Structure 1
Amino acid sequence: MRLRRSAVALMAVLGLALVSACNNSSDNEGSGDKDSQGLQKVSYLTSFNTFGREAYAYVALEKGYFKDAGFDVTISPGSGTVDVMKLVAGGQADYGIGDFTAFAITLGKQKLPVTTVGMIHQRSLAAIVSLEGYGITKPEDLIGKRIGDQPGSTNTVMFPVYAKAAGIPADKTQFIPSPPAGLPNLLAAGKVQGIGQFVVGIPLVEKAAKKKAVVLPYGDKLPDLYGNAIITRSDLAKDHPDQVKKFTGALLKGLQDTIDDPAAAAEILKKYVPQTDVGVATKELELMKPYVKPDGFNEPLGAVDPTRVQKILTTLDQAGAIEPAGTIKPADVVTIDLAPKG
């Protein structure tokens, strides 16, 4: 989706002047083309479809935060952390959202030119979600069960780490490849006993199933994990740090407004994604707020603690999620200098 372009001639002239000024600046921020208003064209991927939890990007778009920062942003739905990483690495998107732990695990398996520059969630939202009567009430119940999820999604990639922390064999749970949008209905139909889902997805699941959800949050066993992080290409972070900071700042303004007024954010999401159920999206965002800004969290939104990053990597090493152990360092997964600071 593009910001509306002005047809006024004066704006075009000013846009050309701005392009000229930027091109002559020592801080040229170009990673792509500019529109008629001199705005940098930027592509952005959500983490997972266009559920309510993704509303903050549309809020930043609707309220002009991206435009004020100098960007003409196109938002497209992502399909899981691994896919988002690959698309950003390949230049099909400039920025994206993905789970930080899944990001680190993936980089341990394949070297992609991507980095993270801030955290959307200070706590992990990853979970296995089931329904009452499906025989799942605790981690041990996952043994022998079928779990629907998008291949490469956060929940699938992280499951072995969760399983180890929970003391269950990861290979005794079968993951069934399923598209994101169909997961709640797949669960409701009883074709699987659980689905990979964020904890904020409970309202959507319960609406589809007309039953009470049962949730096994990964964070219960792995409390130090971050949730979603802002992803960009390594070269963009290195060569155009000011652009990255401005984009991140605009996105986080949208995030702040979203947790301040979830209902208004859900209405904005519906404007851009007409199939949005405003009631469900509002409930998702209300559930998301304590993950964005937990009790006792006094840092700016998006902040990253390098000590905590190292602790997460150590946990992944001990779980055998990164092989050989110790090959991934904090600097490999996050550009600390670009993360928001108090």
Structure 2
Amino acid sequence: MRSPLVRRLIVASAVVLSFTSATAAFSQEKVSVRLRWLPQAQFAGYYVAKAKGFYQDKGLDVTINPGGPNITVETLVGSGADTFGVGGGPEAMLFAREKGLPLVCIGMTLQQSPHVFVAQKKSGIKTLADLRGKKVSTWFTGAQYTLYAMLASQDIKPSELTIVPQAATMTPFIEGEFQAATATRYNEFVTLQEQGVTDLTVFKPADFGVVAQADSIITSEKFLQAHPDQAQAFLAATLQGWKYALAHKSEAIDIVMAAAPSANRAHQTAMLDQLATLITAGKNGSQGIGRIDMDVANSIQARLIKYQALKAPVDLNKAFDTKVWDQVPSADKSL
């Protein structure tokens, strides 16, 4: 039989534990992240970080908000409607800053351009020079400047091609309406393979010296200045989520499918496989996932100014904050 003193100590301990648990639950800071598109493996790291409790472990209660065709991530984050967002590449950040949106990029998910330019071999296109006089489709959301830079590396002017806006599907390309088209390696390129369109000539930007990054992790200047610890915690947990997703792909797809039950699992699996190569590409992949490469940002800015897409240089040190990534524990970002 326990003595009165022991009983009092047990009760006191239980009260302390209960209070500590309640305080921990109460201290979870509510934040949100806006995706670029609907739930899919492109965002597996975020869903994994939430499902595995990585955000919670960092003191964050994260709501993942899907994107869509009429949603602009940069606008929502810049206005404060969402705390964080998955934005485009450096191009999107530079355009946003030029428009006065107070955004800061704190991480960059893809260490290589996700875009490739494809042509069916039956078209006779084997080199970029063969695109002269051909109809090429692309997205006029930044991908066109990647194409221009690739062409310039071969002394080809955009005016020597007929460049048109790309359709929502790859059907016009498959049916020969365009001789070449743009594809993301993790989506449209996978779709072409799934549809049996595999006899392709593929032009990768990196093969022509065109450097890029994509899928930026962004927040607002106001939030970063007021809550630097939360920004660092969010980035650390997100990278931890990506690290886990790449090491446990089947489980990661299970988590994605729970968020998108109508998605095709095989497609999502192929998407994650492609993303893995982009996330770990180049020197940044070996140094740790999610790193911002300021040399790439500077190169892209020079490219946009050359093509008069930007009227004047943007202050890169305000648009990109590398200190947040630097402070992420090595264990959270190293593969």
Does TM, normalized by the shorter one, top 0.5? yes
- For residues 70 and 163 of structure 1, do their structure 2 counterparts lie closer, same or farther at Cα, with a shift above 3 Å needed? farther
Mapped pair 1:330 → 2:330: no
Aligned to 2:46: 57
Q: Structure 2: how far apart are the matches of 1:282 and 1:264?
A: 10
Q: Which runs of 5+ in 1 are unaligned?
A: 1-10, 19-35
Mapped pair 1:207 → 2:194: yes
Larger CA Rg, structure 1 vs 2: 2
Mapped pair 1:95 → 2:84: yes
How far is 1:125 from its partner? 1.7
Mapped pair 1:168 → 2:152: no
How far is 1:82 from its partner? 9.2
- For residues 131 and 239 of structure 1, do their structure 2 counterparts lie closer, same or farther at Cα, with a shift above 3 Å needed? farther
How far is 1:117 from its partner? 0.3
How far is 1:118 from its partner? 1.1
How far is 1:226 from its partner? 2.1
Q: Structure 2: how far apart are the matches of 1:59 and 1:105?
A: 29
Quick check: 2:33–2:63 contact (8 Å CA) kept in 1? yes
For 1:70-89, what aligned pairs fall within 5 Å after superposition? 70-79=59-68, 83-89=72-78
Q: Structure 2: how far apart are the matches of 1:209 and 1:283?
A: 15
Instruction: Work out which structure has the larger RCO, using CA pairs closer than 8 Å and 6 or more positions apart in sequence.
Output: 2
How far is 1:94 from its partner? 1.9
Q: Structure 1: how far apart are the matches of 2:309 and 2:152?
A: 10
Q: Give the one of 141, 145, 156 matched to 2:135.
A: 145
How far is 1:15 from its partner? 8.0
Aligned to 1:282: 269
Mapped pair 1:264 → 2:261: no
Quick check: 2:112–2:282 contact (8 Å CA) kept in 1? no
The worse-fitting range, judged by mean Cα deviation, of 277-286 and 305-314 is 305-314
How far is 1:41 from its partner? 2.7
CA RMSD of aligned residues (A): 3.4
Question: What one-letter code is carried by the residue in structure 2 that aligns with 1:95?
Answer: F
Q: Structure 1: how far apart are the matches of 2:293 and 2:138?
A: 33
Question: What one-letter code is carried by the residue in structure 2 that aligns with 1:116?
Answer: C
Aligned to 1:7: none
Determine helix, strand or coil for the equivalent of 1:120: strand
Q: Structure 2: how far apart are the matches of 1:101 and 1:68?
A: 30
Q: Structure 1: how far apart are the matches of 2:48 and 2:301?
A: 33
Determine helix, strand or coil for the equivalent of 2:72: helix
Mapped pair 1:241 → 2:231: no
Q: Which runs of 5+ in 2 are unaligned?
A: 1-16, 331-335
The worse-fitting range, judged by mean Cα deviation, of 163-172 and 258-267 is 163-172
- For residues 76 and 157 of structure 1, do their structure 2 counterparts lie closer, same or farther at Cα, with a shift above 3 Å needed? farther
How far is 1:312 from its partner? 3.9
Aligned to 1:114: 103
Aligned to 2:8: none
- For residues 306 and 161 of structure 1, do their structure 2 counterparts lie closer, same or farther at Cα, with a shift above 3 Å needed? same
Quick check: 1:102–1:157 contact (8 Å CA) kept in 2? no
Q: Structure 2: how far apart are the matches of 1:196 and 1:79?
A: 20
How far is 1:245 from its partner? 0.6
Identity rate, percent: 19
Quick check: 2:91–2:301 contact (8 Å CA) kept in 1? no
Q: Structure 1: how far apart are the matches of 2:124 and 2:94?
A: 30
Quick check: 1:124–1:228 contact (8 Å CA) kept in 2? no
TM-score, scaled to structure 1 = 0.75
* 1:139-188 deviation line (CA, Å, top 9, x unaligned): 34275415264x53x42464444444454333544333544xxx244544
- For residues 275 and 188 of structure 1, do their structure 2 counterparts lie closer, same or farther at Cα, with a shift above 3 Å needed? farther
Q: Structure 1: how far apart are the matches of 2:56 and 2:42?
A: 22
